[in-house]
Structure formats: C-alpha cells, structure tokens
Amino acid sequence: MGVLELDEAKRRAREAGLDLVEVAPNSQPPVCRVMDYGKWKYQQRKKEQKARSNTHTSELKEVRLRPKIDDHDLGIKLSKARQFLEENDKVQFTMLFRGREMAHRDLGLAIMHGVRDKLADLAKVEAQPRQQGRRMTMVLAPERKMPTRGKSKPAAKDAVPGAPEAPASPPTEDAPPATGPAAEVDESTAPASTGGDSGR
C-alpha cells in the first residue's frame, strides 16, 4: 500500500472487512497491517492452550499403607504409585500405625523396603523410611524423566525417494500473521495506536 494518510488506511481496511493493526509504532513512519485481528487473537489463545496442555508440573502424590495390608491391596497401591511415577510425579508412601501396631514397626519397615524394591525399575529413593509418631514415610522420585502419557509424538516416517518436500515452516509468533497487504501510515497523522478500528 505504501505511505497513506490514517483516514485513507482505515477506509481501505473497512472496505476489505478487516482491521488496521499497528505492528511497528517506532518505525518512520509507523507500520500498520490490514488483518483479521479477532481471528489472530483466537489462534494465539489456541496455541497458548496447547502449549500449557503439553506442560506437566511434577507433584507430590501420597499413597497410604497399613502394616497389615494384604497382597491384593498392596498390588493396587503399587499400580497407582507406578502410574504417578510414569507421569513424572513423586510419591510419598505413608504407613499408619494404630494401637498395638506400634509394637510391629519392623513389619511396616519391611513393607516399605518391599515397595522400594518393586518400583526400583523406574524410581529412586529420595527420602528413606523414617518414623514420626504413628506415621512412617518414604518418598520415591522418578529415576529418569518419563514420557507423559498421551503426549508422545509419532515417529517421523522415512523419506521416500521422489516424494515432494515438506512445506516451509509457518511464520513465528513474534509477528502476527497478515491476511492482507501491509500499510504504512504517515507519522504526522498517526496516533500512538490505531488497533481494531474496522466497521466505523
């Protein structure tokens, strides 16, 4: 479009059913772009939501045990702990002692060691078993960063001779995508911001 008066640039944006968006206010003269600003903002929000969904923050999960837990219940607890560890979360095992069970703390310690050994393939001990009143705790952490479930990317296919090349990468997010030609506005008539003035 070249250098235009502000009113003329707005008129052309309205005729195209688009918005006049200032993208380089400090240039001489300031540079504007004719684009669908609402559509661009929507696309940016979708990208941000996708990026957040791919980010997993490690948490501390708790699994409670009892000194007299049977093998079936212990297996269920271990399966849940394994799921937490595969999702890159730490797991705190808490052994609760009641009444006369305090006289059998060695039994609780043996269960803790068994849990440690059964999860040794994907976890390391971050905090050794220790007694605090009627509670015994132990913390396991993932041995290495595990891929988050449902987030793995498919492997790239081998290149096939004669196949067309992949399309070029999309533009970066530093500059909003344009849906129309760029417009320069003369500095003497341009305000500090001219964003989103279509339809008026």
* 86-127 residue pLDDT tens: 988 999 999 999 888 888 888 889 999 999 999 999 899 999
pLDDT at 144: 67
**Nearest-angstrom CA–CA distance, 3 and 183:** 7
pLDDT at 3: 80
pLDDT at 81: 93
Domain boundary assignment for the chain: 1-49, 60-142
pLDDT at 158: 45
Band (182; pLDDT cuts 50, 70, 90): very low
Residues 118-131 as b or e (16 or more Cβ within 10 Å = b): ebeeebeeeeebee
For residues 146 and 88, is the Cβ–Cβ distance under 8 A?
A: yes
**Nearest-angstrom CA–CA distance, 65 and 75:** 11
Matching CATH number, 60-142, of 3.30.110.10, 3.40.190.10, 3.20.20.70, 3.40.50.1000: 3.30.110.10
Q: Which tokens belong to 42?
A: 């929507």
Band (155; pLDDT cuts 50, 70, 90): very low
DSSP 147: P
Specify the 3-state DSSP secondary structure of 34. Answer: strand
pLDDT digits (tens, 9 = 90+) for 32-83: 888 888 888 889 888 888 877 666 667 889 999 998 889 999 999 999 999 9
Is the model more confident about 70 or about 178?
A: 70
Is the model more confident about 177 or about 59?
A: 59
Indicate if the pLDDT at residue 139 is higher than 50.
Answer: yes
Instruction: For residue 72, count other CB atoms closer than 10 A to its CB.
Output: 8
Band (1; pLDDT cuts 50, 70, 90): low
pLDDT at 196: 47
Indicate if the pLDDT at residue 132 is higher than 60.
Answer: yes
Matching CATH number, 1-49, of 2.60.40.10, 3.30.70.3270, 3.30.70.20, 3.10.20.80: 3.10.20.80
pLDDT at 55: 62
Question: HEC states along 149-195?
Answer: CCCCCCCCCCCCCCCCCCCCCCCCCCCCCCCCCEEEECCCCCCCCCC
